[in-house]
Structure 1
Amino acid sequence: MSTSDAWPALPYEEWKDTCATLHLWTQIAGKIRLALTPWVNHSWHVAMYLTARGLTTSTVPYRSGSFEIEFDFIDHALLVRTSDGARASTPLAPRPVARFYRELFDLLAGLGIAVRIRTMPNEIPDAIPFERDEVHAAYDADAAHRFWRILMQSDRVLERFRAGFIGKCSPVHFFWGSFDLAVTRFSGRPAPPHPGGVPNLPDWVVRDAYSHEVASCGFWPGGGPVRYPAYYAYAYPEPAGFSAARVRPDAARYSPELREFVLPYDAVREAAEPESTLLEFFESTYAAAADLGGWDRPALERESPDR
């Protein structure tokens, strides 16, 4: 497979409508998992995960069994599978969020699954309740497939990066609220209360997420002030001097607006060695956060087995 096939182009402006619709569709599935699983610190119980075909809620407990919801970006279908062998599906195709919401809950009802969710989207300004959203209705199958392939490549590198840390660390997971793939390392020390202020997200949820010092990084398809897909890295609380730290590769820049380092995805996909370039970004930004923040790095790190 060529580099261009493995790391496909995904100009944000060409698929922004599909991106917005898919963001909302994943929120509906994610909120179903949220409603049925015990609360885990930092909201780790709500995240989705990469599969060999798309994104999954992973196992969701229900009564004496379980089920999962998967977005299949190869056959472009939404599937619900239960632990007793039942399954139902509907195509991933252009239609309003309100219709998708009804169809998914009809699938669940047909499988004997009853659940209620809060229908206001999270982390989105000017949000429309799912059942009333006739605005977002785009689905470009090719773009959705390329997005998933980028997530797969990013997941591979994030897993390598995660392997070098033996302190508390999140899984590599996909947050449907912010619509990004992320991994987070922890220093082990409590952090000052987060100011909150995230659109349509209770401040207590944000404070739970940032209850302890973190260095986090991941992939985001773009939006708002960043009109291109990008990798990011930030620290909370941000240590003095972090914004001026020298990180690699040279294409990485600190965004004062986002308060994080940003590396355009195209700088990675066009590099001679995309995986090494991306790993360099994750490691150098983490080193800046940990060194400037006074983390006990010898106690928290190890040489990755693949090195």
Structure 2
Amino acid sequence: MSERLDVWPALVHDDLAPMVDYVNRVVQVAGKYTLDAPFEAGWGNIVLEVTPRGLSTPTFRQRGTAFRVHYRLLDGDVVIETDSETRTLPLTGQSVASFFSAFCAAVSDLGIRRPRTSLICEIPGAPATFEDDRAVRTWDAPAARLMWEAMSRAADGLEAWQAPFLGHRPRVGVMWGGFDLSATRHRALHTAPPPHGPPFMQNAQLNAYVSVGFSFDNTKMNNAPVPPIGMYAYIWPQPEGLEGRSYGVEGADWYPQAGLMLLPWDSLRRLPDPRQAIVKFGDAVYQAAVETAGWPADVFVPRADGWYVSRTPASALEQQEA
């Protein structure tokens, strides 16, 4: 069934940018705990889940304590939840530095070690550390709701796209450094990262992958003049032959100056079924990887909901798709 246009809100980059910048910084505080988790290909271990009210870390286990941190964008606060008690911290009317100080005090009170680093990552022009970021921020509740709604809608489409893939695919979630929502498919093919990049980038590019996602600022990836808000995709390593192809839906195109396939948000929200459009966009990008970079075409289960599969043998579904 097609979604109504008004379900997918209009997003204006300049209106959202201050809140995106602030949230990007504060989610890195608890995001640092994901670096203690075992490394997954392409940093799949670090993603934050898009929840019904915001963004959440995975569940961590430390010193006998299980805990998670929930950035509740719709409530303007952060809940630190353990197996024994919780703490709630406001996100309103304070600086990144004051939030970090309050966060460290709260986790210490709960018996949790503070994050092992306070460096701010992947934000051009940001202070070096959380302690240095003393500008007092204004919390914009309507902008926070728009941010959550965009990420939730995009995550719905990306999860549907990702479901049938049989290879390694970390869960769909927000990469807290670049603050993009990512769905990545990996291939066991060793690649050579650029030698002069930072270690975290080199470790992200150890193997081939296809990434499809959503960003509030696609211009950050390669400082290219492209539509800022919307779906993005790229193939690593980048193959030849990506120009002149169809990328599944109206409005999607290859932007060589950025090295990205993009589906701008304004184009996406005007399509009859934006969720399905995300699936078609991702499928077209993967097909480009098959045809230009030799990716396997037979690594999928049938695409259907679980109730249907529970009543129908997979072999019958495959025959229907054929």
| Distance in 1 separating the partners of 2:164 and 2:157 | 12
Q: Deviations over 1:145-179 (max 9, x none)?
A: 11111111111111111112112222112100110
CA spacing shift, 1:156–1:116, aligned 2, 3 Å: closer
| Distance in 1 separating the partners of 2:196 and 2:4 | 40
| Distance in 2 separating the partners of 1:159 and 1:131 | 36
Which ranges of structure 1 fall in alignment gaps of 5 or more residues?
Answer: 198-202
Aligned length: 299
What corresponds to 1:120 in structure 2?
A: 119
What corresponds to 1:28 in structure 2?
A: 29
Query: Displacement, 1:245?
Result: 2.5
Query: Displacement, 1:253?
Result: 2.4
What corresponds to 2:191 in structure 1?
A: 191
Which ranges of structure 2 fall in alignment gaps of 5 or more residues?
Answer: 306-320
Query: Displacement, 1:241?
Result: 0.6
Q: Greater shift after overlay, 245-254 or 144-153?
A: 245-254
Q: Deviations over 1:234-255 (max 9, x none)?
A: 0000111123432232311222
Select the structure of larger CA radius of gyration. Answer: 2
Q: Greater shift after overlay, 92-101 or 21-30?
A: 92-101
Q: Are the equivalent residues in 1 in contact too, given 2:169–2:185 (CA < 8 A)? A: yes
Indicate yes or no: 2:150 matched with 1:171. no
Query: Displacement, 1:54?
Result: 1.2
Indicate the percent of aligned positions where both proteins have the same amino acid.
Answer: 28
TM norm structure 2: 0.86
CA spacing shift, 1:71–1:20, aligned 2, 3 Å: same
What corresponds to 1:211 in structure 2?
A: 206
Give 1:94-243 correspondences, 5 Å limit.
94-128=93-127, 129-135=129-135, 137-195=137-195, 197=197, 203-222=198-217, 224=220, 225-226=225-226, 228-243=228-243
Matched position secondary structure for 2:288:
helix
| Distance in 2 separating the partners of 1:57 and 1:254 | 33
Amino acid at match of 1:124: I
CA spacing shift, 1:9–1:246, aligned 2, 3 Å: same
What corresponds to 1:200 in structure 2?
A: none
| Distance in 2 separating the partners of 1:233 and 1:102 | 37
| Distance in 2 separating the partners of 1:250 and 1:297 | 24
Indicate yes or no: 2:255 matched with 1:255. yes
Query: Displacement, 1:142?
Result: 1.2
What corresponds to 2:17 in structure 1?
A: 16
Query: Displacement, 1:51?
Result: 1.5
Amino acid at match of 2:303: S
Q: Deviations over 1:73-121 (max 9, x none)?
A: 232221001012x000022213211111112112212212222432221
Q: Are the equivalent residues in 1 in contact too, given 2:65–2:112 (CA < 8 A)? A: no
Query: Displacement, 1:295?
Result: 1.4
Amino acid at match of 1:157: G
CA spacing shift, 1:156–1:150, aligned 2, 3 Å: same
| Distance in 2 separating the partners of 1:96 and 1:226 | 31
Amino acid at match of 1:88: R
| Distance in 1 separating the partners of 2:114 and 2:90 | 22
Query: Displacement, 1:196?
Result: 5.4
Q: Greater shift after overlay, 177-186 or 238-247?
A: 238-247
Q: Are the equivalent residues in 2 in contact too, given 1:59–1:68 (CA < 8 A)? A: yes
Query: Displacement, 1:138?
Result: 3.5
Q: Deviations over 1:169-207 (max 9, x none)?
A: 22112100110111111232212224453xxxxx22212
| Distance in 2 separating the partners of 1:295 and 1:116 | 39
